[in-house]
Copies of this chain bind each other. A is one copy, B any other.
């Protein structure tokens, strides 16, 4: 044996000696090297391409001579003629070992290839889909050994692919017999490889060798929008993405209004369930059409959502989620058939819902945890998913804590006098000159600042229609930096602030950001009630984070990740001026985009990540803000801008906030969001 040629595989470094004539694919399989094959070494699929290296490999202690592999053979020649084989490549099932050799497995020949994420700090995703294609040759029926066609197909999958205990739904039984005969007892099967709850399942059969793929959906089912990525399960790539408004909006804008709808209307929950399922079917049809993909080839779907959406999707009345102790009907991950949710995909399509962390911290937060992996972080990371509810995770390799905090819809532009959704024409960036107190801004859909001479023309089409969530945060933070707004959240009068842009409005003042009223356009101001709404929201967010820091026993975090579509547009500096997030170096405040959607995509294309996040969720410590006395205290402190107690030293080293106070002593206008009624 010791004189057999040595085979070294890269990049794995796995090595072993094999008799002369061993196919490279066989050697790879015996060593457990990740080398793809759909046809099982029959020279059909060309998935097992490898690149032999020649010359001196001192690292491996091997010299590879010409002739280390067998000569180019007829199968390879035929493939090269038909499809073209990249120069230097061989088919692993055809090339056999002759002498010591170093074999490189290129990424595209690996089953478990890495799908690279764009963000520098994000870990790559290992491709490991639920469903893969396998080519098999099936024994023909024999009167003397009267087993069924299915049983012989399963035997072939077991003998040729070591896939044991395979099942098949009725639609396979109903369609399989003519396909087997058409393929001359050679077929390609898409097999869902199963998990700890379900056995492997034959999803689809094609006659002969089938060159194709199957698809999966990663769905972020939000209260407001439903977003889905259609992924190729063979490559892990997103082939199309799309979103629709959640049709449940007609029953209530936010979650609690939907819970009350179900409480006030008999059958209301069922109505909302039907609406969201119907909405998803429409979305899935559209996305499949966009991508030119047959919807019946979508074999897997992963859903992430908050607990109320989770229950409504499953047809569970969310009643209990509306009152303490916020009991979930079920907290664990859920695996079911798509047809149980009336979803019109492949007839045996599977659905996976990530586990919920708690009654207020849903599968969306679990997905954020999967994407951002605080449990694998060396330093202490705070992850906030900013939406109508903020889901907050704090942790590192040792421990992860989670809570949710009811920020309300202010960050999304609701409850703001000039607020609007993030859409062309919405103010998204604001700067206020600290000397002149004059603002300039940018709107969505235009790269110019408003003081640019070309701005008016450039925005003529969209107009300037309002302020979106990130715009209001910048506006308020800039007002605070410019001394137009005091720490308690009061806007100064024109005299106090030294600018005519401060104008009285009722008993308080507003700051005029843009006035197009002379030409019939809107008049966009930031009012004191706007400030109050943002104060409430940011105080809820901060106090949730601060509560987790208390529980963790720290006063600082090493870094902050802002997740959620909104989080992607927040300026870290302005968020910190507002005191939304704890004090941290600005370059340590990053955006993760739609981390919940990414988490769904990870769970979709790497099915091993499902067990991983289930285990992580089990280990996450849940903190219920509603019953924590310190939450109230933090909330009151955090109502000030940035905070009445916390020092924010890093922020103070970057900006110095004017020490102004516009409270004329007449009342308790500031702090805590509480307001005492007083006489005119």
Contact = CB atoms under 8 A, between A and B. Distances in A.
B148 A314 contact: no
Given A314-B174, A315-B174, A317-B177, A624 B143 contact: yes
Contacts of A330: 148-151, 168, 173
A580 interface: no
B170 A329 contact: no
A614 interface: no
A56 to B, nearest CB: 56
Interface stretch (A58-66, A103-111, A352-360, A420-428): A352-360
Given A170-B315, A624-B146, A141 B327 contact: yes
Interface in A307-329: 314-317, 319-320, 324-329
A146 B622 CA distance: 7
Interface string A137-154: 000011111111111000
B314 A173 contact: yes
A326 B143 contact: yes
A332 interface: yes
Nearest to A199: B197
A177 B319 contact: yes
Contacts of A325: 141-143, 146
Given A142-B325, A173-B330, A340-B170, A356 B624 contact: no
A143 B145 CA distance: 60
A146 B315 contact: no
B174 A331 contact: no
Q: Most chain-B Cβ atoms within 10 A of its Cβ — which of A141, A145, A329?
A: A329
Copies of this protein chain in the complex? 2
Interface in A602-638: 622, 624, 626-627
Contact of A331 (B148, B167, B328): B148
B328 A146 contact: yes
A577 to B, nearest CB: 34
A143 B177 contact: no
Interface size class of A (residues with CB under 8 A): 35 or more
A176 interface: yes
Nearest to A360: B146
A336 interface: yes
A173 B329 contact: yes
B356 A148 contact: yes
A173 B151 CA distance: 35
Contacts of A317: 174, 177
A329 B150 contact: yes
Contacts of A177: 316-317, 319-320, 327, 329
Nearest to A358: B146
Q: Most chain-B Cβ atoms within 10 A of its Cβ — which of A167, A169, A325, A627?
A: A325
B316 A143 contact: no
Interface in A140-196: 141-151, 167-170, 173-174, 176-177
Given A176-B329, A197-B199, A336-B170, A357 B316 contact: no
A152 to B, nearest CB: 9
A230 B328 CA distance: 37
A324 B143 CA distance: 8
A331 B173 contact: no
Contacts of A174: 314-317, 329
Nearest to A319: B177
B199 A144 contact: no
A168 B316 CA distance: 13
A357 B359 CA distance: 52
Closest 8 pairs (CB-CB, A-B) = A146-B358, A148-B331, A141-B327, A148-B330, A148-B328, A150-B330, A143-B624, A143-B325
8 contacts: A142-B325, A143-B324, A149-B320, A173-B329, A174-B315, A176-B329, A177-B329, A197-B199
Given A146-B361, A177-B316, 19 more contacts: A141-B326, A144-B627, A145-B622, A146-B331, A146-B622, A148-B327, A148-B329, A148-B331, A148-B356, A149-B328, A150-B329, A150-B330, A151-B331, A169-B340, A170-B315, A173-B316, A173-B329, A176-B329, A177-B320
